[in-house]
Amino acid sequence: MKLLQVNASYKPAYIYGGPTMSVSKLSEELVLAGAEVEVFTTTANGPGELDVGAGQPINIDGVTVTYFKRVTKDHSHFSPALLKHLWRSVKSFDVVHIHAWWNLVSVLSCWIAIRRGVPVVVSPRGTLSAYSFTNKNNLPKSLMHSLIGKRLLKKIGIHVTSDHEKQAIELLVKPRKIFNIPNFIRLPGCMPLQPVHDEGILRLIFFSRIEEKKGLEILFNALTRVNVSYKLTIAGEGEPAYVKKLKLLAEKAGIAKNVIWAGFLQDDKFEILQQHDLMVLPSFDENFGNAVIESLGVGTAVLISKHVGLSNYVETNRLGWVCEHNPDSFGRQINAIARDRDQLARIRQDGPLGVVKDFSNARLRKEYYEMYLEIITNDGL
């Protein structure tokens, strides 16, 4: 089986957060499953470019990756070189798997693969929901969806990572089939479990990209309602202007003295996560939530909004708490958790065992491989 993964960014462009890591992990696991995998991507790295050889295949952790220069430096990621190469080579692949939407790499690559008669599956990665039409560039998105996007998406399979994302997709488009398979997540392996802190300070961590979608304003306002001692670590990066706005908001809310801005975490992220009692993710919209599984993988409980894709999993397995998307709900729950730490201790024990079982690499490899086989054997569905 010869698979092509297409995404506008690929590691080491970690500035784009979870989607970049999910695509690279998927590609590496598919190689381990016996597939022949190539990746077409761009040199995008935020406003800058990756220092890689453009146009030449490179082996990145066992995966053949070709980076192409882009001519736009924004989220459109327009890359004529990538599209030209795709047109020439796409028929040599059994399936094209395209990641994300609303950029010219994804949409035009989808059009090329369909035009050339190659089966396509798209993973929207959180970019195809009602919320995505309201947060940024809503007019261009609506026009693109009406003129070309909806017609393309009806002709292909769509891969989602949660029931939440599946429901959002079904409100917007009727694809030929929807496959629901979780992301591959890099888990920490064997780490000695640390006990929950009991010195009276509740240690909170926000572990994600810093952007409006993630709901940090909700959390900051919630913390003004918290009547217990706490510290909040913000582990992530974002646009400097937006980060500055959040810091001013923290000052105005009177919580700045309790907030630690840790920046982007890479090699030591699991150790830092385990040093906290509770990972908080108050997102407006989240198709999956890699940070939820990474946190539970080290035994740190989670407090998330009902709009996070893994909210059903967290509630069903009693591995954290799910809140309404408002400051009162988050504030009340944080106060309740601080008064009863027994649940934190239980999740410290149960979380790692649960996610290792439910998100094992071997299980997910089989599910993804079967998805591709179904697409191939049913002639693109």
What are the boundaries of each domain within the chain? Answer: 2-184+360-377, 202-358
Cα–Cα dist 368/99, whole Å: 14
Residues 207, 260 contacting (CB under 8 angstroms): no
Residues in Cβ contact with 171 at an 8 Å cutoff, skipping those fewer than 6 apart: 130
Task: Summarize pLDDT for 310-326 with one digit per residue, the tens.
Answer: 999 999 999 999 999 99
Task: Summarize pLDDT for 147-202 with one digit per residue, the tens.
Answer: 787 889 999 999 999 999 999 999 888 888 999 999 998 888 766 666 666 668 99
Q: Decide which of 61 and 340 is more confident.
A: 61
Task: Summarize pLDDT for 323-350 with one digit per residue, the tens.
Answer: 999 999 999 999 999 988 899 999 999 9
Cα–Cα dist 220/233, whole Å: 12
Same fold, 2-184+360-377 and 202-358: yes
Residues in Cβ contact with 61 at an 8 Å cutoff, skipping those fewer than 6 apart: 24, 28
Tokens of residue 127, six digits: 């970019």
Looking at the predicted structure, is the pLDDT value of residue 380 above 60?
A: no
CATH of domain 202-358: 3.40.50.2000
Task: Summarize pLDDT for 287-307 with one digit per residue, the tens.
Answer: 999 999 999 999 999 999 999
Q: Give the pLDDT confidence score for residue 135 in this predicted structure.
A: 66
3-state DSSP assignment of residue 347: helix
Q: What is the pTM of this model?
A: 0.86
In whole angstroms, how far apart are CA 296 and each of 100, 113, 210, 214, 351?
26, 38, 21, 19, 5
Confidence of residue 47 (pLDDT cuts 50, 70, 90): confident
By percentage, how much of the chain surpasses pLDDT 90? 75
Q: Decide which of 174 and 232 is more confident.
A: 232
206 forms beta bridges with: 234
Assigned CATH topology for domain 2-184+360-377: Rossmann fold (3.40.50)
3-state DSSP assignment of residue 248: helix
Cα–Cα dist 157/139, whole Å: 26
Confidence of residue 381 (pLDDT cuts 50, 70, 90): low
